[in-house]
């Protein structure tokens, strides 16, 4: 199956694509469309859904529009995106779901410092990343904490490294340390 995602940026694109393919082995390819932040996502996601349907060159089986909620009410933000789609009058031929994550993607990556260590080891980098104490989902500085973790093992904070960490991370550990991650898993499995 081809899975389309519309996300805020390149980092999100790398992480969500990696997690989706790990959560759903039947996903052959993730078509990711970054939008330069929340404002860009709100303006452009309908156009990207149209692109998935008519222009992408792939038969998209499902699409997920993902944005950060900045610890706000996820349901209200998801409803807002659904309303925008309805107001634009576009009806996709594939299921479209909306997901407003409670935290930034770095929060999930913080959950498994061993994944960071594995990526560092694979790249012949020294050092060892230190575990960040729970609870993770309430940390307001997850991006800074994750970048500091990468710095501990001399890894660059770029989309490629983010994706490699997501591919190495233990899904069960993320579920344990970040309970809201299960909602994302459920959305990926829906339809």
Claim to verify: residue 121 and residue 96 sit in the same structural domain: no
122-167 pLDDT, tens digit each: 999 988 999 999 999 888 899 999 999 999 999 999 999 999 999 9
Q: Which two tokens stand for residue 64?
A: 């997920």
Claim to verify: residue 41 and residue 75 sit in the same structural domain: yes
Claim to verify: residue 7 and residue 32 sit in the same structural domain: yes
Count the domains in the chain.
2
Claim to verify: residue 77 and residue 133 sit in the same structural domain: no
Q: What is the pTM of this model?
A: 0.94
Claim to verify: residue 91 and residue 31 sit in the same structural domain: yes
List the domain range (segments joined by +) for residue 110.
106-177
Claim to verify: residue 146 and residue 158 sit in the same structural domain: yes
168-185 pLDDT, tens digit each: 999 999 999 999 899 999
Query: Residue 84 CA to chain centroid, in angstroms?
Result: 21
> DSSP letter at 70?
T
Claim to verify: residue 89 and residue 150 sit in the same structural domain: no
- The answer to whether 63 and 41 are in contact (CB under 8 A) is no
- The answer to whether 67 and 101 are in contact (CB under 8 A) is yes
Claim to verify: residue 78 and residue 120 sit in the same structural domain: no
Task: Report helix angle 37-54 to 74-88, nearest 10.
Answer: 50
Claim to verify: residue 128 and residue 170 sit in the same structural domain: yes
């Amino acid at each position: 199956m081809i899975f389309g995602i519309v996300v805020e940026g390149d980092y999100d694109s790398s992480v969500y694509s990696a997690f989706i393919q790990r959560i759903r082995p039947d996903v052959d390819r993730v078509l990711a469309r970054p939008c330069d932040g929340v404002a860009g996502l709100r303006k452009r996601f309908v156009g990207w859904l149209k692109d998935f349907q008519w222009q992408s060159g792939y038969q998209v089986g499902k699409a997920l529009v993902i944005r950060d909620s900045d610890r706000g009410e996820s349901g209200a933000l998801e409803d807002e995106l659904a309303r925008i789609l309805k107001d634009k009058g576009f009806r996709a031929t594939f299921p479209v779901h909306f997901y407003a994550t409670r935290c930034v993607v770095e929060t999930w990556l913080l959950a498994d410092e061993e994944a960071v260590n594995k990526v560092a080891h694979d790249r012949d980098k020294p050092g060892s990343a230190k575990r960040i104490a729970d609870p993770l989902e309430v940390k307001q500085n997850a991006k800074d904490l994750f970048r500091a973790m990468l710095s501990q093992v001399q890894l660059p904070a770029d989309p490629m490294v983010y994706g490699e960490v997501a591919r190495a991370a233990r899904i069960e550990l993320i579920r344990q340390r970040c309970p809201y991650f299960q909602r994302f898993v459920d959305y990926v499995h829906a339809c």
